[in-house]
Amino acid sequence: MVVSTSSFVLCPGPAEHPARMGLPALALLLAVRLLSTQASPSPRSFQVDYERNCFLKDGVPFRYISGSIHYARVPRPAWRDRLLKMHMSGLSTVQVYVPWNYHETLPGVYDFAGNRDVEAFLDLTAELGLLVILRPGPYICAEWEMGGLPAWLLWKPDIILRSSDPAYLAAVDSWLHVLLPKIKPHLYQHGGNIISVQVENEYGSYYACDYGYLRHLLGSFRALLGSEVLLFTTDSTRAEELRCGTLQGLYATIDFGPGSNVTELFDAQRRVEPKGPLVNSEYYTGWLDYWGEAHASTSAAWVAQGLEDILQLGASVNMYMFHGGTNFAYWSGADYKDQYKPVTTSYDYDAPLSEAGDPTEKLFAIRMVISKFQPLPVGPMPPATPKYAYGWVALRKYADLLDVLDVLCPSGPIQSQFPLTFEAIKQAHGFVLYRTQLPQDIPDPATLSAPPHSICDRGYVMLHKEYQGMLERDGQMTLRVTGKAGDTLDMLLENMGRISFGANVSDFKGLLGNISLDSIPLNNWLIYPLAIDTAVQQGWPHAAMPKSSSRGRAGPAFYTGTFETPGIAWDTFVKFPGWSKGQLWINGFNLGRYWTHRGPQQTLFVPGSVLHVGCPNNITVLELEGAPLTPLLLFLDRPLFNRTLSHSISATE
Q: Is 405 exposed, middle or buried (0-12, 13-18, 19+ CB in 10 A)?
A: middle
Contact between 145 and 429 under an 8 Å Cβ cutoff? The reply is: yes
- Main-chain dihedrals φ then ψ at residue 591, nearest 5 degrees: -85, -10
Strands 194-198 and 230-235: parallel
Query: Longest C-alpha distance within the chain, in Å?
Result: 119
How far is 3 from 6, CA to CA, in rounded Å?
9
How far is 462 from 480, CA to CA, in rounded Å?
12
Catalytic residue among 104, 143, 145, 202: 202
Contact between 142 and 99 under an 8 Å Cβ cutoff? The reply is: yes
Which among 323, 308, 409, 415 is positioned nearest to 363, based on CA atoms? Answer: 323
Using CA of residue 100, residue 105, residue 107, residue 108, what is the dihedral sign?
negative
Which among 244, 236, 235, 197 is positioned nearest to 218, based on CA atoms? Answer: 197
SS3 label, residue 49: strand
How far is 151 from 145, CA to CA, in rounded Å?
9
How far is 478 from 488, CA to CA, in rounded Å?
18
SS3 label, residue 528: strand
How far is 482 from 484, CA to CA, in rounded Å?
7
Active-site residue 466, yes or no? no
Residues linked to residue 93 through DSSP beta bridges, in sequence order: 66, 131
Contact between 296 and 289 under an 8 Å Cβ cutoff? The reply is: yes
How far is 185 from 205, CA to CA, in rounded Å?
32
SS3 content of the chain, % helix, strand, coil (to 5): 25, 30, 45
How far is 355 from 324, CA to CA, in rounded Å?
6
How far is 576 from 580, CA to CA, in rounded Å?
8
Q: Which whole-number Å values give the CA distances from 134 to 70, 196, 351, 481, 496, in the listed order?
A: 11, 6, 20, 53, 28
Residues linked to residue 447 through DSSP beta bridges, in sequence order: 480
Catalytic residue among 104, 200, 282, 623: 282
Which among 164, 91, 157 is positioned nearest to 128, based on CA atoms? Answer: 91
Contact between 511 and 455 under an 8 Å Cβ cutoff? The reply is: yes
Active-site residue 282, yes or no? yes
How far is 252 from 525, CA to CA, in rounded Å?
51
Using CA of residue 22, residue 27, residue 28, residue 29, what is the dihedral sign?
positive
Residue type, 283: Y
- Beta-carbon contacts of 295 under 8 Å, excluding residues fewer than 6 positions away, are 289, 350, 600, 601, 641, 642
Contact between 66 and 93 under an 8 Å Cβ cutoff? The reply is: yes
Cis peptide before 406 (omega within 30 of 0): no
Q: Which amino acids are annotated catalytic?
A: 202, 282
